Chain A
């Protein structure tokens, strides 16, 4: 069975602080995909990144970076120099890569509040 744990329910930071959102996953599959989605206060869900299990390279996109470590089953998300617009709920998600039609399992989400 697949499981995603986001242990941080809520994080509050002051603008310009760096913040890391943790994601720990469980799967027996050797091929799988991990995702991060953002849900701003307006409610829509926005795709941020996808990573497959064979690609352990860290990724950086502007102020966002992701650290994927298979050894610890973690896929953590760091925002550098946070801004108020980063305030949102962030979800980590997992799906096995056996083929089409498999389930997508989300973590409970982490609420990030960035104060000015």
Chain B
């Protein structure tokens, strides 16, 4: 089944404790991206990747890192999480770019205390 898989689905952690949210897709998509969803703000793009080893900042990259060492994986790293990063996070992918429909993961709800 074609899908985008995020882990974990839920995480409660404390300020400053490094965490990684994994994202994997099995559709051989070149384009992958991360979004955060906050009430009243919709989805905001954090980082995106056009292909392996090619990443770029979205609109809200501060406090986040990403890497794209393999085509199927695009982990989101919070090296020193803070409470303002408490949010619902979505990973998405598409075959070639952002001008195509995005396939979204089921979301990861992060709470930073």
Contact of B99 with A33 in the complex, beta carbons under 8 Å? yes
CB of B96 to closest CB in A, whole Å: 6
The reply to whether A104 and B42 contact each other, CB–CB distance below 8 Å, is no
Interchain CB contact (< 8 A) of B48 among A45, A47, A103, A108: A103
Q: Which of A41-80 contact B (CB under 8 A)?
A: 43-45, 47, 50, 52
Chain A nearest CB, measured from B89 CB (Å): 12
* In the complex, residue of chain A having the shortest beta-carbon distance to the beta carbon of B58: A103
How many pairs, one residue from A and one from B, have CB atoms within 8 Å of each other in the complex?
A: 68
Q: Which residues of A contact B42 (CB under 8 A)?
A: 4, 6, 91, 106-109
**Alpha-carbon gap, A45 to B102, bound state (A):** 9
Whether B43 is near chain A, meaning CB under 8 Å from some CB there, is yes
Contact B99 A103 (CB under 8 A): no
B107 at the interface (CB under 8 A from A): yes
One digit per residue, 1 when the CB lies within 8 angstroms of any chain B CB and 0 when it does not, for chain A 10-52 equals 0000000000000000000000010101000001110100101
B74 within 8 A of A: no
Known: A47-B102, A100-B31. A91 touches B43 (CB 8 A): yes
B42 to chain A, nearest CB (A): 4
- Residues of A participating in the B interface, judged by any CB pair closer than 8 Å: 4, 6, 9, 33, 35, 37, 43-45, 47, 50, 52, 91, 93, 95, 97, 99-109
Q: Which residues of B contact A (CB under 8 A)?
A: 30-31, 33, 35, 40-45, 48, 50, 54, 56, 58-59, 88, 90, 92, 96-104, 106-107
